Amino acid sequence: MTIALSPLPIYRTEQVTRVYRSGAVDVWALRGVDLTLAEGEMVVLLGASGSGKSTLVNILGGLDLPSSGRVFFRDQDLTQASDKDLTAFRRAHVGFVFQFYNLVPSLTARENVALVTEIARDPMPPEEALERVGLGHRLDHFPAELSGGEQQRVAIARAIAKRPDVLLCDEPTGALDSKTGVQVLEAIHEVNRDLGTTTVLITHNADIQRIAHRVIVLADGRVIRDRANTERLLPAQVSW
Amino acid sequence: MLRDLRRIWPQTLAIALVLGCGIMVLVGAQATQATLIETRAAYYDQHRFADVFAGATRAPADIVAAAHLIPGVAKAEGRISFHAVLDVAGMAEPASARVLSIPEGGATLNLPLVRLGRLPEPDRADEVALSEPFAQAHGLVPGREFRAVLNGQLRALTVTGWVLSPEFIYTIAPGAMMPDDRRFGVIWMNEATAAAAMDMSGAVNDLALRLTRDADERAVIAALDRLLEPFGGTGAHGRDRQMSHVFLDGELQQLGAMAAFMPPIFLIVAAFLVQMVLGRLITLERRQIGLLNALGYGRRDIAAHYLKLAALIGAMGILLGWAFGWWIAVAMIGLYQDFFRFPFLIRDWGSWALVVSAGMGVATVVLGALRPVWATLRLRPAEALLPPAPPHFGKSIADRLLMRLRVRQTTMMILRSILRWPGRAAITVLGVSASVAVLVMSYFLFDSVERLTQSVFSQANRQQVTLTLARPMGESAVQDALTLPGVSRAEGAYVVPVRAVHGHRIRLTAVQAHFPGAELARLVDDAGQVVVPGTEGVILPVTLARALDLRAGDLLRLELLAAPRSILHLPVAGLIAQGMGQDVHISAAALFAATGSAPQVNMIHLAVQADRMDALSAAIKQTPGVAGLSDWAEVRRQFDATLSENMLTMVGLYTLIGLLIAVGVIYNAARILVSERSYELASLRVLGFSRFEVGYVLVGEMMLLTLVAIPLGWLAGYGLAQGVVGAMSTEIVQIPFFISRRTFALAGLAVFFAALGAVLVVRRRLDRVDLAMALKARD
Ligand SMILES: Nc1ncnc2c1ncn2[C@@H]1O[C@H](COP(=O)(O)OP(=O)(O)OP(=O)(O)O)[C@@H](O)[C@H]1O
Ligand SMILES: [Mg+2]
């Protein structure tokens, strides 16, 4: 199955590098990345540990700034943005999902989602977002009362409830077993399909790449492969 | 251990400071008190301060030998004593002095200490020695002259020396509220000169006795009273009625009150802080503890490690407290030396307080450490190696209620955090309210004194000048006073020393007769109500009634100790709550009806045009019948100046240490919150919350607790202030209990902003949390 992709790029990076200075040695996490992501695309980011995936996604999400190069979100140059601008950018456009859920333990599922919808411009009701990820019956549970997969789905609901333009997922299934992981991927997949949210998904699991429109592979801070999937699988068809 | 200490040093320091404050107040007050007590004791002893004092109108000189024969009397001395108006160069208004004769052959009791020059030569009638503070205030060095009205005659006197005396450590004019070294002094002159001035040759009017160690003071006083009865005795009394002694005692009592009320608050808060901080440290080091334990370190070693850490905090607090306590003691003794003139100081570093405070400091930290250390002792190695169980957010009734609340989720986080750690919230609230309470407790003294001054100066004493007459006169003297320059109104009053007796209880005091229509000097109670004595019976201050065990309606025996020396039995018509004053009040009609004599006055209150004061002063210096003058505007100015200077220092200090509690508590609580939840808060930043919004979760929680704590602190402060009033009040000075809204508001605001400052400092740590690190964290 295919969907008509908007030709407009949502992201464009030019020669992005990121150098970490730890002590005397410089660690080059990114060594010049040129990328263009199209509106509505679902991209899987692959690569060995330490290849720079998280670094790249953090830069795209406005959590980090490149050491050199430029990053455009639509026509906004993120590399010129102040801390305040980046906060506003994340707030308005970006949904994050991380490996370790990062839910607020003192808030229930519904409240964790409401946390974000309260500061969003055009959010969906928290209940709807949770319904979408199949947690309509767990609204008033605290994270500690939910399984890992359920917590991750709350995190997805929280990320999508504000109807973000991009959904950035850093190893969302990393801490989950295969069956639970599939449920989480289904949630992400549906969001991308139904809401047209541009999605970047980091994974270590090569099988998962087949649900994406496009697969980008990083190695040692460089893009070494970038190709579109001619045929996509549904998450349910993937297993690992 | 040093690593642990480095890790939490600002918190440690905050605790040590809070603990140190408590110890500082204790050591400071005690060292001051001990220094004053020891110095006074040595001074009294070396200079043979008398035990019993008595006055009479005129007694033959051989009464001294008779007094010596009273059982229990080791030494008796007779003197001539009177008050005189002085004319000193460079001072428009008259000064006044208490004149004392030096017995022939030199004093054997209340020995004057010559600080400069010498005492008058026995055969020189024009020579006098002056009390040092008065002489200093006027630069009256030996050889200088000044003039005094002695027995109606203005006479030139030459200064021979400056003197201090144990009788005048605190020199205050009769009826004054504060020492005034310019306006009041003491003069020592030869017996012959004094006798000539007062027509008292072969007679004395003032007796001082020193008792043997096992003497019964009450019995001696009673015997002396009987002895002086025929000679116009004005009532013998012990040191407990000797002005200088009483004021010094009152001050010592206030120091004691401070040492009793303040330190426990600080120690309790410090104990809780130790518990809070060590508890958190142990949680952070759980794994390490488990590891050490698994490696074979005994649990005792580990517990000992944390106890040592606590002890170190304690030691820091104790040393800080001692150091600052001494510093404060030195400063306070310095302040006291403006009021209390000692020729020397015997410094006592408060050895008792050092031991006690060290003990209390150690007990504080050990008590605080007990719970967290006990928890490590019970920790099994296997458990310790696991991450601590995630905090459980339950579904208690309170939680269910919260869920109904329609508040922002960040606010919800605050409320849940408080519910989840109620103990910690309680400690925070307790600490902050203690801080408010300390401020209320120190600020309210301002209110009370203001109320006292208000009632003394603006309501009770609206006269500008009060003249004390050398001897009682008929009511016509009041009319005569109207002819003095600048006087627009004159009111007479009659005050006579009295022995008030009820059953076996006796108090020496004075009776004040009030003439009808008084507008200047009035009887005003603490609430500002004017009380006019009726035609029957007397009105007593509540404190005097309590001392004499009297209630309204009881019969009081009054023995007048000056002419007409009647013994009256009068009913108590009413009680009056008064800040200052021990006098029995009665209407002139009732008094003179009871004594059967014609109405008399011995004080005249005057309303004076402000620009005619100098003219009046000049006239008074020439008026023989006047023994003294008090200028109320000047008294008030002095009173305010002294008070504001001293109280500002004290209030500044108390504000500092009071706020330190709030800062210490909030700083620690906020640090712990950040240490536990920095990643959670940082992940809010990832979600697009601004620094301000994230800071709100921290600042909001701390300030919410602060807001809860402030009213509690007000309540506690109210209670403590009541305690302080009780502890500070003596029979002579009752500090009125009154706390103004301003005090509550100031205490609340000061603590609010101190807490805000402390939490904002901690908030900056949130900015330093690395967002990417926060996302990798599991807990
Ligand atoms: N804060 C940091 N300080 C120093 N070096 C860092 C930091 N974060 C990442 N690096 C280094 O940058 C490189 C890229 O890291 P990054 O986290 O982007 O890799 P990754 O592809 O996401 O790896 P993984 O699959 O293990 O998550 C690594 O060599 C890493 O050690
Ligand atoms: Mg990564």
Q: Which ligand is nearest to the CA of A47?
A: 1
List pLDDT tens digits, range B198-238: 888 899 999 999 999 999 999 999 999 999 989 988 889 99
Contact A105 B680 (CB under 8 A): yes
Q: Which of B602, B612, B645, B571 is nearest to B494 (CA)?
A: B602
Kindly tell me the burial class for residue B588, based on how many C-beta atoms sit within 10 Å of its own C-beta (0-12, 13-18, 19 or more).
Answer: buried
Residues of B in contact with A64 (CB under 8 A): 771-772
For residue B711, pLDDT over 50 is answered with yes
Per DSSP, the residues of A94-105 read EEEE-TT----T
Tell me the C-alpha distance between B499 and B671, whole Å.
65
Q: Which atom of ligand 1 is nearest to the CA of A171?
A: 27
Test site for ligand 1: of A18, A19, A20, most ligand atoms within 8 A of the Cβ: A20
How many interchain CB pairs under 8 A, A with B? 82
Per DSSP, the residues of B252-289 read HHHHHHHHHHHHHHHHHHHHHHHHHHHHHHHHHTHHHH
Q: Is the CB of A203 under 6 A from ligand 1?
A: no
List pLDDT tens digits, range B532-549: 898 888 999 988 898 899
Tell me the C-alpha distance between B198 and B192, whole Å.
10
Domains recognised in chain A with CATH numbers? 9-237 (3.40.50.300)
Tell me the C-alpha distance between B706 and B670, whole Å.
12
Name the one residue in this structure whose structure tokens are 């370190």: B297
For residue B767, pLDDT over 90 is answered with no
Residues of A in contact with B392 (CB under 8 A): 144
How many Cα atoms within 13 Å fall on the side-chain side of residue B100?
Answer: 27
Would an 8 Å CB–CB cutoff place A100 in contact with chain B? yes
Q: Is the CB of A47 under 6 A from ligand 1?
A: yes
Shortest CA gap B755–chain A (Å):
25
* Closest CB from B416, B688, B771 relative to A119: B688
* Closest CB from A91, A105, A142 relative to B688: A91
Would an 8 Å CB–CB cutoff place A98 in contact with chain B? yes
Cα B15 to averaged position of ligand 1 atoms, centre (Å)? 40
List pLDDT tens digits, range A42-81: 999 999 998 999 999 999 999 889 999 999 999 889 999 9
Q: How many CB atoms sit inside 10 A of residue B1's CB?
A: 10
Q: What percent of chain B has pLDDT over 70?
A: 97
List the 742-771 stretch of B: residues with Cβ below 8 A of A.
771
List pLDDT tens digits, range B375-397: 777 777 666 666 666 666 666 77
Q: Where are the domains of chain B?
A: 1-52+217-389, 81-199, 421-460+633-779, 487-608
User: Which residue has the least CA distance to atom 31 on ligand 1?
Assistant: A50
Q: Which atom of ligand 1 is nearest to the CA of A47?
A: 21
Q: Is the CB of A49 under 6 A from ligand 1?
A: yes
Contact A90 B392 (CB under 8 A): no
Q: Which of B301-310, B364-373, B633-642, B665-674 is predicted with the least confidence, judged by mean pLDDT?
A: B633-642
List pLDDT tens digits, range B457-516: 778 888 888 888 878 888 888 888 888 888 999 999 998 888 898 988 888 888 999 998
Tell me the C-alpha distance between B325 and B352, whole Å.
13
Q: What percent of chain A has pLDDT over 70?
A: 97
User: How confident is the model at residue A7, as a pLDDT?
Assistant: 62
Tell me the C-alpha distance between B686 and A115, whole Å.
12
Q: Which of B413-427, B709-723, B739-753 is predicted with the least confidence, judged by mean pLDDT?
A: B413-427
Shortest CA gap A188–chain B (Å):
18
| Residues B28 and B353 sit within 8 Å (Cβ to Cβ) | no
User: How confident is the model at residue B699, as a pLDDT?
Assistant: 95
pTM exceeding 0.90: no
Would an 8 Å CB–CB cutoff place B390 in contact with chain A? yes
Tell me the C-alpha distance between B178 and B165, whole Å.
18
The average pLDDT across B318-346 equals 87
User: Which residue has the least CA distance to atom 7 on ligand 1?
Assistant: A20
Name the one residue in this structure whose structure tokens are 């003497």: B215
Q: Is the CB of A21 under 6 A from ligand 1?
A: no
Contact B413 A170 (CB under 8 A): no
Query: Using the 8-state DSSP alphabet, how is residue B587 labeled?
Result: E
Tell me the C-alpha distance between A134 and A155, whole Å.
12
Q: Where are the beta strands (DSSP E) in B613-718?
A: 626-631
User: How confident is the model at residue B423, as a pLDDT?
Assistant: 86
Q: Which of B357, B367, B356 is nearest to B273 (CA)?
A: B367
Cα B546 to averaged position of ligand 1 atoms, centre (Å)? 82
Tell me the C-alpha distance between B708 and B697, whole Å.
17
Q: Which two tokens stand for residue A214?
A: 């496009």
The average pLDDT across B115-137 equals 92
B48 compared with A21, residue with greater pLDDT: B48
Q: How many CB atoms sit inside 10 A of residue A137's CB?
A: 9
User: How confident is the model at residue B177, as a pLDDT?
Assistant: 67
Going by pLDDT thresholds of 50, 70 and 90, the confidence category of residue A2 is: very low
Contact B687 A64 (CB under 8 A): no
Identify any residues that bridge with B185 across adjacent strands, giving them in sequence order.
B97
List the 29-48 stretch of B: residues with Cβ below 8 A of A.
none
Q: Beta strand A166-170 with A94-97: parallel, antiparallel or unpaired?
A: parallel
Would an 8 Å CB–CB cutoff place B773 in contact with chain A? no
Shortest CA gap B389–chain A (Å):
10
Mean pLDDT for chain A overall: 88
Cα A27 to averaged position of ligand 1 atoms, centre (Å)? 9
Test site for ligand 1: of A26, A31, A54, most ligand atoms within 8 A of the Cβ: A54
List pLDDT tens digits, range A148-184: 889 988 998 999 898 899 999 998 888 788 888 888 8
Q: Which two tokens stand for residue B661?
A: 């509690």
Element housing B76 (H / E): strand B73-79
Q: How many CB atoms sit inside 10 A of residue B692's CB?
A: 10
Q: How many CB atoms sit inside 10 A of residue B281's CB?
A: 20
Contact B690 A87 (CB under 8 A): yes
Q: Which two tokens stand for residue A169?
A: 């997922």
The average pLDDT across B709-728 equals 90
User: How confident is the model at residue B779, as a pLDDT?
Assistant: 46
* Closest CB from B390, B680, B772 relative to A58: B772
List pLDDT tens digits, range B636-661: 887 777 777 777 777 888 888 899 99
User: How confident is the model at residue B428, as a pLDDT?
Assistant: 93
User: How confident is the model at residue B694, as a pLDDT?
Assistant: 92
Q: Which atom of ligand 1 is nearest to the CA of A18?
A: 12
Residues of A in contact with B685 (CB under 8 A): 87
Q: Is the CB of A51 under 6 A from ligand 1?
A: yes
For residue B105, pLDDT over 50 is answered with yes
Tell me the C-alpha distance between B207 and B218, whole Å.
16
The average pLDDT across B593-604 equals 89
Cα B694 to averaged position of ligand 2 atoms, centre (Å)? 25
* Closest CB from A98, A105, A111 relative to B390: A105
Tell me the C-alpha distance between B413 and B110, whole Å.
73
User: How confident is the model at residue A1, as a pLDDT?
Assistant: 40
User: How confident is the model at residue B175, as a pLDDT?
Assistant: 66
For residue A125, pLDDT over 90 is answered with yes
Would an 8 Å CB–CB cutoff place A7 in contact with chain B? no
Contact A115 B687 (CB under 8 A): yes
Residues of A in contact with B412 (CB under 8 A): 106-107, 111
Amino acid identity of residue B599, one-letter, is P
Name the one residue in this structure whose structure tokens are 């009609």: B589
Tell me the C-alpha distance between B638 and B180, whole Å.
8
Test site for ligand 1: of A21, A22, A53, most ligand atoms within 8 A of the Cβ: A53
Cα B98 to averaged position of ligand 1 atoms, centre (Å)? 91
Helix, strand counts (H, E) of chain A: 6, 10
Helix, strand counts (H, E) of chain B: 22, 22
User: How confident is the model at residue B389, as a pLDDT?
Assistant: 62
Residue of A nearest to B406 (CA): A111
Sheet harboring A76-77: ordered strands across? Answer: A25-38, A9-22, A68-73, A76-77
Contact B391 A105 (CB under 8 A): yes
* Closest CB from B409, B683, B689 relative to A111: B409
Shortest CA gap B416–chain A (Å):
6
User: Which residue has the least CA distance to atom 11 on ligand 1?
Assistant: A29
- Angle at which helices B632-686 and B422-453 pack, to 10 degrees? 160
Cα B328 to averaged position of ligand 1 atoms, centre (Å)? 57
Name the one residue in this structure whose structure tokens are 């990393």: A174
Shortest CA gap A232–chain B (Å):
30
User: Which residue has the least CA distance to atom 18 on ligand 1?
Assistant: A52
User: How confident is the model at residue B393, as a pLDDT?
Assistant: 67
For residue A40, pLDDT over 70 is answered with yes
Shortest CA gap A40–chain B (Å):
21
Q: Which ligand is nearest to the CA of A18?
A: 1
Contact B412 A170 (CB under 8 A): no
